[in-house]
Structure 1
């Protein structure tokens, strides 16, 4: 049975509008115990990339696999991948294409998507990118609980518009082995009992959760961005999940 070692990496990927910087507060706590932990910025979310608005989900999945290659991830030394929010689409693709490279996936206020899923099917084709909405609009879409005025100001200042191709592209999944990867749900803005109830009921957003063969859940009550509202506790939750050997 695979156990986590100091050379077994943990890769953190934030959701829409965010880059590796979003994990800075978590990494301060996490790397003391697991120096192999890193955060990455998905293609399309690097503000210095002149072609970022054209990046796709396939580009994002390929970038994750490039990080795997750089870190020496293999079937004998698989990685733990941590996906927050909208990172679920590219990470679901990686799980589908190379489940053997992942020892555990940790979904942070997120979860796997089903095949055929499109994040924004109604987004007009002429839209090239989707900027972070005003905070009052954002608060209607996701909980801002626990975020200070300073954190919200930083969020607005550093957010990068989401590329439209990522929002338009259907997620195509074909490999049922993705459901065999050990999985942890870190439930924040919705309690795990409610998530599991919705999964059992076949709710479209959570239907894939019901198909996971090795699932554990952890409640971390806060808003949708726990990397800022409860960074120390989130780091401990990630480390605990990554260290599981069941």
Structure 2
């Protein structure tokens, strides 16, 4: 017999699982909804202990499956890490992928909560209030819920103790041995299994673990509260997950993209290292030269070796710039998690200051070139449009937070920046992938619409057959042509 321990998201308790639990029991399983302690002094460890008590109270001889919805995945992981031998599977129900040391607050989508709790006094125990019926949408898609259900949800919920969101999750790593399933609620623009597969292909290396054969994915065509909007479908999905069902993801056949050779043959260039910044210099000396600062995407794990400035891809772009007579620079910024965007923006600003202070660099002719998820870091340059910034280049950029990217600094919104800058925005070169992931393509389309409305100058370089990060993973005539055309477009603006 399979026994399910069910842990829901913020504010809610075991009562939200009632309809799901009835269906699981009717199918022959045990169901144990958990109500987490809502005392104002409770913290994440309090909730981990709540789940541990539920796990230890289950006497079933069969498989024990822990289900964590939204915030609930944090205490589920904390408990599972300490009861590895008891747990047959963990189910992430429309939940993030928190790691050791992460704060639950990082995955909270409501920006008001971030403003209220970020940097708050730890002695303050004022809880986060229950959302009003019309406010639940700020915590996740309410698709499938009626007005009456939202009213009942608010009445049945309790305030969320603030320390449950501001204390870090602590994991030993033992939990990594437990098979997992992801149940994705796809209505409302949230991630699909296809989108996760694309992230495994081109995203940060740590996502490759999602292609482990012990990990399965299922989809539910509903909003963020499937225990209320589709209890029968959710129960069926949980039973499938417990049985090891669901779609498996695949790894690319080749090496990680960041280790692939640069698609163009470019000569080596003298390299100078300044802290987190590398400068690749033109072979000929002489007067100060314009410079292009290449800004990598991510997040990139802090312990990944080599770091971006040492991989063939970014070195290739910097050397290509140097071969064209300008300084090519690469910065290792601190975008290690989605919560690090603010820090990364400061690192980029510092790198620009160091670059402009170099004697070999003309401080009044700088271009910034952002890749992939680094596109969000273009916000400050577009918004401030200083005279020295001659061009902003964007390669297959992410220009708004993707579904689930709740931890991204809310000020980093390139579309809003270009709408405010209007015709004063710096000239832009945008490299667009024809086979871009839909969620990313939507952010590009919205940005271009804002640029057109603002009458900003944008040159688009299309790669019709290119997928996301095509120039990192592919080496074709089309790729080489696109890279060359994008570089030409940047240099025209930089040297003009």
For the Cα contact (< 8 Å) 1:131–1:161, is it kept in 2?
A: yes
For the Cα contact (< 8 Å) 1:180–1:212, is it kept in 2?
A: no
What is residue 61 of structure 1 aligned with on the other side? 48
Which stretch shows the higher mean deviation, 94-103 or 146-155?
Answer: 94-103
In 2: Cα distance, 1:208 partner to 1:132 partner: 37
**For the structure 1 residues 56 and 196, does the alpha-carbon distance in structure 2 shift closer, same or farther, using more than 3 Å as the test?**
farther
Using the TM superposition, give the Cα deviation of residue 180 of structure 1 relative to its aligned residue in structure 2, in angstroms: 2.2
**For the structure 1 residues 143 and 18, does the alpha-carbon distance in structure 2 shift closer, same or farther, using more than 3 Å as the test?**
same
Which of the pair has the greater relative contact order for Cα pairs under 8 Å at 6+ separation?
1
Runs of 5+ consecutive residues of structure 1 not aligned to the other structure: 45-51
What is residue 34 of structure 2 aligned with on the other side? 40
Runs of 5+ consecutive residues of structure 2 not aligned to the other structure: 107-113, 247-496
In 2: Cα distance, 1:159 partner to 1:30 partner: 23
Matched, 1:133 2:134: no
**For the structure 1 residues 209 and 114, does the alpha-carbon distance in structure 2 shift closer, same or farther, using more than 3 Å as the test?**
farther
SS at match of 1:37: strand
Matched, 1:82 2:67: yes
Using the TM superposition, give the Cα deviation of residue 78 of structure 1 relative to its aligned residue in structure 2, in angstroms: 4.5
Q: TM-score, normalised by structure 1?
A: 0.83
What is residue 111 of structure 2 aligned with on the other side? none
Q: Detail structure 1 runs of 4+ shifted over 3 Å in the superposition.
A: 134-138, 195-200, 206-213
What is residue 115 of structure 1 aligned with on the other side? 100
In 1: Cα distance, 2:150 partner to 2:25 partner: 25
In 2: Cα distance, 1:61 partner to 1:143 partner: 26
What is residue 49 of structure 1 aligned with on the other side? none
**For the structure 1 residues 119 and 69, does the alpha-carbon distance in structure 2 shift closer, same or farther, using more than 3 Å as the test?**
closer
CA RMSD of aligned residues (A): 2.5
In 2: Cα distance, 1:127 partner to 1:225 partner: 27
What is residue 180 of structure 1 aligned with on the other side? 177
Which stretch shows the higher mean deviation, 107-116 or 85-94?
Answer: 107-116
**For the structure 1 residues 212 and 57, does the alpha-carbon distance in structure 2 shift closer, same or farther, using more than 3 Å as the test?**
farther
For the Cα contact (< 8 Å) 2:184–2:219, is it kept in 1?
A: yes
In 2: Cα distance, 1:16 partner to 1:143 partner: 14
Using the TM superposition, give the Cα deviation of residue 43 of structure 1 relative to its aligned residue in structure 2, in angstroms: 1.7
For the Cα contact (< 8 Å) 2:94–2:224, is it kept in 1?
A: yes
Matched, 1:13 2:11: no
Using the TM superposition, give the Cα deviation of residue 133 of structure 1 relative to its aligned residue in structure 2, in angstroms: 2.7
Q: Highest CA radius of gyration, 1 or 2? A: 2
**For the structure 1 residues 181 and 212, does the alpha-carbon distance in structure 2 shift closer, same or farther, using more than 3 Å as the test?**
farther
**For the structure 1 residues 84 and 240, does the alpha-carbon distance in structure 2 shift closer, same or farther, using more than 3 Å as the test?**
same
**For the structure 1 residues 35 and 119, does the alpha-carbon distance in structure 2 shift closer, same or farther, using more than 3 Å as the test?**
closer
Using the TM superposition, give the Cα deviation of residue 236 of structure 1 relative to its aligned residue in structure 2, in angstroms: 0.7
What is residue 417 of structure 2 aligned with on the other side? none
For the Cα contact (< 8 Å) 2:65–2:87, is it kept in 1?
A: yes
In 2: Cα distance, 1:209 partner to 1:20 partner: 31
In 1: Cα distance, 2:162 partner to 2:209 partner: 26
Deviations 1:68-101 (A, max 9, x none): 222136xx75511111111011111122222221
Partner of residue 146 from structure 1, selected from 125, 144, 148: 144
**For the structure 1 residues 93 and 211, does the alpha-carbon distance in structure 2 shift closer, same or farther, using more than 3 Å as the test?**
farther
What is residue 233 of structure 1 aligned with on the other side? 233
What is residue 76 of structure 2 aligned with on the other side? 91
**For the structure 1 residues 113 and 223, does the alpha-carbon distance in structure 2 shift closer, same or farther, using more than 3 Å as the test?**
same
What is residue 89 of structure 2 aligned with on the other side? 104
In 1: Cα distance, 2:238 partner to 2:180 partner: 11
